[in-house]
Structure 1
């Protein structure tokens, strides 16, 4: 079961299809094809998802051996017409790729087309392609099941692009961005379909029809197992008509949430280290990237040789198929790797020394013949020396030896007091990165969640991350999200899916730490590389234990049942395909390779939605848990969030008390202890005290304050000696009382509203809830605009009219809901006209492109809207209270300016939409015998006039734009 051979064999058959003699070997064969058919040059077209599939399996020089002289993307619209080329097109049968092929066949650029798909093509898609092939250029259509990215011979990935704040998806080509849906037990529909197709493609490439087992604790695993079983039994039954075998293969579907420990640990094998620190994307390593997500600048002053352009190694390729040294050392630890690279350098130096002694013609001939191999060896040595030096630098600069030792102690030992002390020390270390600090606290939270007072201790560590560790609050919050992620499995939340002895026994994360192999083994001293010693590698992933049990026939059905109706067996399997929902890791790939090497007769292949390092794993947790409901309060995550909220609330009160001066003002700013509501009695007292304070300030004399006189008042008096000191002090008292009066008045008008502490005057603008139903309807109207334009440009006027009608109904509905239930927001006042303008822009551009709207009118409408947009950007910036930052600028829960559409603007919007709708409906009316040309012309001139009028109304109206201010809420600005 070699995935490299399977995919490279597929590509060989693709690019040699139609040649007079097709070699049976792989693409590495250099056989020429002298026939006139094969002499015609070829171009290979790929889509964005098949580019990594082909690039990781074959090289460009190997493709050149089969006359493939050009490789391009199908979505590249700038390709030239070259009718002398034969086109070999390999794409996924997705809707996007099918549409691109249809457009390509309608206007072919090449002499003939051979179409190859990486998975099963729908009948409807084939019919569309047949209808588009008017020029009859398609010579062949075939399915080759290479619908996955090969990484190792026994490791593949679906290359899901996990996007998040730590920036892990810089080079991913997959359109799938997340696995989970709106709950922990729900798939993202696109991810489920892609995972099903990827697993089926891997089975077909390996020619296996397996029995399917899945992790009982995961509803996602059960759903995927059921979908794969249904497709095998119903839709693709003929494809899986393989020869029966005595021992059926096993497809094992697991869930990443069963073992959240492994992706968080510091890695010490070559391939895993490179992926952890820099990231390996489709076999390429960007040495300027930061795989750990250390964007905190801890090591910004370090010397980074990878940034030197002269080194020529900003980006390099790691492929065991083309790099023998990497193939031999990819699973070795860092110390053994140091010894081997020394030997590699010495071997190169010996070859180099021999090449310097050229004393005869035969020596020169030998040198010329060996020079390509010598140059390749030279580049390979330089690459690995540079990589290992970068890894060694990162290990030293980020104190990874001590960090890793602490990680291994947490997951492999039971030494709570020592671990807690070490974590506190490392959190306060300036050399340890933010990602590693968060990782240590997360491992502690998982390991000691059943420890007494664990919630309080973890909350203390999370506070320490932000207070002393320099970790942003959103990154520290990942600890609670990890706990919610791990507890989202059924048996973590006490679902009891597996009974007392199964996975659902409720043992929680302790089952991972207590599994066989975790406590086994000892410390390995890494040797051979100066400065690298005593790094612990005791941890074994949970998958290794699971596979050991499966190979021995001891994997319990209570934990991993067979899918219903798919059959069962008690035989020891020989061929095993493992698929990890939520991604796998290179540490688990190493365990699989070790089992393959140490267990004769057993072949295991590992796959997953992606291959994680710590950065991508944190990003997936962040994006997934953010879309889930809040964790139940009886879980560890729920208790941690409650404890953190209590601590932050107490910290805020202490901070407020430290800011307050003794006396009357402290009484004024003390908030109610229970829920933050201000009672009318409390409000009356506050108003009386405020009036008393103001009156005292106006009546005080120069000695009235006595010892309570502040330094700020003294300095102000010294700066303005011409003013009486009593006037200055009274003015300061009034300024201090004004915010209290304003806040009290606001509460009096809305006595049931929840208010913030009256002493909190540090925030320049109050936040509002922007997640309301009217705002959601407006956002939906925004999202529908591109689809309206697509329908118009593709001659679908009926669909476009339907979408326009829905947009109009939503426009009326969101305004009615906002008025009926008092859900008006400043953001809504901005995005509601923005949605109308976006829709109007899309309609104007698409209708003008189709010739339904005069160009001068489209330019007038778009010019007016562009001017208003520029004005909105300007007013947002000038009205934003200090500090003026980009983060606050784009935080629309901080309102600063309110736009009020003028009356003529509302009429103009209605007329514009009516004109666009009528223009869109004109082709439908023409087919029914109605001529709207005269009416459309009249409407166009009317709309032109109202457009100019409405634009001028914003310039001269005093009520069009209102600048919101905390001190002067009534101020308006034109």
Structure 2
């Protein structure tokens, strides 16, 4: 049950099912990113794919009738119109059209009418309508999902299509539950359920699996996790450098080589990264050192070319050596830049303060430390502002709160008005009144076990004390203790078309697909990875509107609160 493998299989099937011969792949901006994070372009080209083009950027007039065209696009109105135009004046000898989701009969009819030269050989639906970032993680790559705390234009439809595509591609038939205090979650759940009912024929296959849960959550219930610095390799890269469709820009790094100005950071295409992505900051440094030493050993052997046999060995092993050389150069550059940023912006001190703030209970010590860091010139404006945001969320309603003093400290150091407005917006977006969960463990636990878990859990690493709320929810799912008042069912399982082996109810689900409206984080991805490793009988897939770092989360909060009058903070 790997979303990466699902997308790979679909792309491979598109290529191999068409007639032999040179082909071109015609994609849109979305499907281009779907392919690029799971398959290297060189890997696709080895399967007779000659060239890649964007449907919205095609060159006009050139006749390439000797090529076959594989079309892989989302079934949008724009794409159908562009395909109609393409088929009216076809540039290629034959077309194999694959839509990434369910396509309407009316759109298929439009394509048939445009195909006067009868160049279309196939029109099929493949359910690869999402970005598969790792075997258990997917994103819809939709940064803005909400406006005025309601679904933004087009966002609901896109979310329904994306979530349904994951379910269809994995061939799982779910019961559906959603976060009860989120109207957006309820609406999404109802629309996904209706889509499943409308496409019930997809579950006629004997390998369609039941005993599955689709759980729809809202980011507003946990606004803390996207604000915290994380220390795994993949999380640091995303937070400090930014990742877009598996690519990282290093163009800003002083003295960087031309071939390293943009590098691929995708576990599906980089074996070293796949093995190292969950390592923490200290571990990745040692791993890079080991990689360097291994490279140097191989380099010294390569330099000893003294006979015909040595030459032969050199030629045979040169491709692997060249690949290793590129891997070393890339990761040494990336880790070097991460190390520079951590040091120059006092990020270890910032992270320690963040962790103590959200996991500890000493208000006075938290307040004093935040004051010191806000005044520190090494601390970036965004980190200073986020500390105050975390303080406002953590100590909301505390009798001795000094939020007013912290806001004044931000103003004195020249923090922009944007962050001061965001502080107010964030409290409306994810403050106590917006949440249904006990995010900080401030409510009285109901039993001794809960008390022991909360206060005597032990901490091996001060920088990784925090555990996302999602992990607690998953543990409740696994134990069949998820409260129906907080996470009601959408409809009932027996009313859905039943696949062979489908089970009504939730006890012991074999598969759980979690979708977070408003986006997920790499900390939550790590938690799911660890959860899957520990619990071999339950497989969890995690997805969201987008994949957040701090900057993207704050931007999404701004968009979500647009048009809603800000309440005056109690300072």
Does structure 1 residue 401 correspond to structure 2 residue 348? Answer: yes
Contact 1:181 1:187 in 2 (8 A): yes
SS at structure 2 position matched to 1:238: helix
- Mapped to 2, the partners of 1:278 and 1:445 lie a distance apart of 27
Contact 1:411 1:513 in 2 (8 A): no
- The partner residue of 1:259 within 222, 226, 247 is 222
- Return closer, same or farther for 1:523/1:222 CA change in 2, 3 Å cut-off: same
Which residue does the alignment assign to 1:67?
A: 48
Gaps of at least 5 residues in structure 1 are 20-37, 163-177, 289-303, 495-502, 526-534, 632-637, 644-974
Does structure 1 residue 226 correspond to structure 2 residue 190? Answer: yes
- The partner residue of 1:181 within 128, 139, 147 is 147
- Mapped to 1, the partners of 2:455 and 2:244 lie a distance apart of 33
Does structure 1 residue 444 correspond to structure 2 residue 391? Answer: yes
Which range moves more in the overlay, 2-11 or 238-247?
A: 238-247
Offset of 1:566 from its aligned partner?
Answer: 3.7
Contact 1:518 1:538 in 2 (8 A): no
Does structure 1 residue 88 correspond to structure 2 residue 70? Answer: yes
Which residue does the alignment assign to 1:788?
A: none
Does structure 1 residue 463 correspond to structure 2 residue 413? Answer: no
Instruction: Write the deviation string for residues 416-441 of structure 1: whole angstroms up to 9, x where unpaired.
Output: 11111111111111110111011100
- The partner residue of 1:110 within 92, 97, 101 is 92
Which residue does the alignment assign to 1:51?
A: 32
Contact 2:439 2:469 in 1 (8 A): no
- Return closer, same or farther for 1:513/1:133 CA change in 2, 3 Å cut-off: farther
Contact 1:410 1:443 in 2 (8 A): yes
Which residue does the alignment assign to 2:365?
A: 418
Which residue does the alignment assign to 1:571?
A: 507
- Mapped to 2, the partners of 1:87 and 1:254 lie a distance apart of 40
Gaps of at least 5 residues in structure 2 are 495-503
Aligned length: 556
Offset of 1:518 from its aligned partner?
Answer: 6.5
Bigger relative contact order, structure 1 or 2 (CA pairs below 8 A, ≥6 apart): 2
- Return closer, same or farther for 1:351/1:216 CA change in 2, 3 Å cut-off: same
Contact 2:171 2:207 in 1 (8 A): no
Contact 1:232 1:240 in 2 (8 A): no
Normalising by structure 2, we get a TM-score of: 0.93
Contact 2:528 2:542 in 1 (8 A): yes
Instruction: Write the deviation string for residues 126-180 of structure 1: whole angstroms up to 9, x where unpaired.
Output: 11111111111111100010000010011000001x3xxxxxxxxxxxxxxx212
Does structure 1 residue 615 correspond to structure 2 residue 551? Answer: yes
Instruction: Write the deviation string for residues 842-874 of structure 1: whole angstroms up to 9, x where unpaired.
Output: xxxxxxxxxxxxxxxxxxxxxxxxxxxxxxxxx
Contact 2:175 2:506 in 1 (8 A): no
Offset of 1:311 from its aligned partner?
Answer: 6.0
Contact 2:511 2:540 in 1 (8 A): yes
Instruction: Write the deviation string for residues 49-92 of structure 1: whole angstroms up to 9, x where unpaired.
Output: 11101111212222222211010111114252211111111100
Instruction: Pick the structure with more strand per residue.
Output: 2
- Return closer, same or farther for 1:571/1:523 CA change in 2, 3 Å cut-off: closer
Matches within 5 A, 1:91-490: 91-160=73-142, 162=143, 178-182=144-148, 184=149, 186-233=150-197, 235-243=198-206, 248-288=211-251, 306-310=253-257, 312-454=259-401, 457-467=402-412, 469-487=413-431
- The partner residue of 1:76 within 37, 57, 60 is 57
Offset of 1:613 from its aligned partner?
Answer: 0.2
- Mapped to 2, the partners of 1:340 and 1:524 lie a distance apart of 20
Instruction: Write the deviation string for residues 645-688 of structure 1: whole angstroms up to 9, x where unpaired.
Output: xxxxxxxxxxxxxxxxxxxxxxxxxxxxxxxxxxxxxxxxxxxx
SS at structure 1 position matched to 2:260: coil
- Return closer, same or farther for 1:511/1:200 CA change in 2, 3 Å cut-off: farther
Contact 2:515 2:544 in 1 (8 A): yes
SS at structure 2 position matched to 1:49: helix
- Mapped to 1, the partners of 2:79 and 2:426 lie a distance apart of 37
Contact 1:520 1:538 in 2 (8 A): no
Contact 2:422 2:558 in 1 (8 A): yes
- Mapped to 2, the partners of 1:538 and 1:241 lie a distance apart of 46
Matches within 5 A, 1:395-794: 395-454=342-401, 457-467=402-412, 469-487=413-431, 492=433, 503=436, 521-524=457-460, 536-567=463-494, 569-631=505-567, 638-640=568-570, 643=571
Contact 1:518 1:540 in 2 (8 A): no
Offset of 1:245 from its aligned partner?
Answer: 7.7
SS at structure 2 position matched to 1:66: coil
SS at structure 1 position matched to 2:29: coil
- Mapped to 2, the partners of 1:629 and 1:459 lie a distance apart of 20
Normalising by structure 1, we get a TM-score of: 0.55
Contact 2:70 2:98 in 1 (8 A): yes
- Mapped to 1, the partners of 2:116 and 2:408 lie a distance apart of 67
Offset of 1:523 from its aligned partner?
Answer: 4.7
SS at structure 2 position matched to 1:536: helix
Instruction: Write the deviation string for residues 741-787 of structure 1: whole angstroms up to 9, x where unpaired.
Output: xxxxxxxxxxxxxxxxxxxxxxxxxxxxxxxxxxxxxxxxxxxxxxx
- Mapped to 2, the partners of 1:570 and 1:117 lie a distance apart of 33
Instruction: Write the deviation string for residues 277-317 of structure 1: whole angstroms up to 9, x where unpaired.
Output: 011111101124xxxxxxxxxxxxxxx7x232436322111
SS at structure 1 position matched to 2:488: coil
Offset of 1:356 from its aligned partner?
Answer: 1.9
Which residue does the alignment assign to 1:3?
A: 3
- Mapped to 2, the partners of 1:251 and 1:380 lie a distance apart of 38
Which residue does the alignment assign to 2:18?
A: 18
SS at structure 2 position matched to 1:43: strand
- Return closer, same or farther for 1:417/1:55 CA change in 2, 3 Å cut-off: same
- Return closer, same or farther for 1:127/1:552 CA change in 2, 3 Å cut-off: same
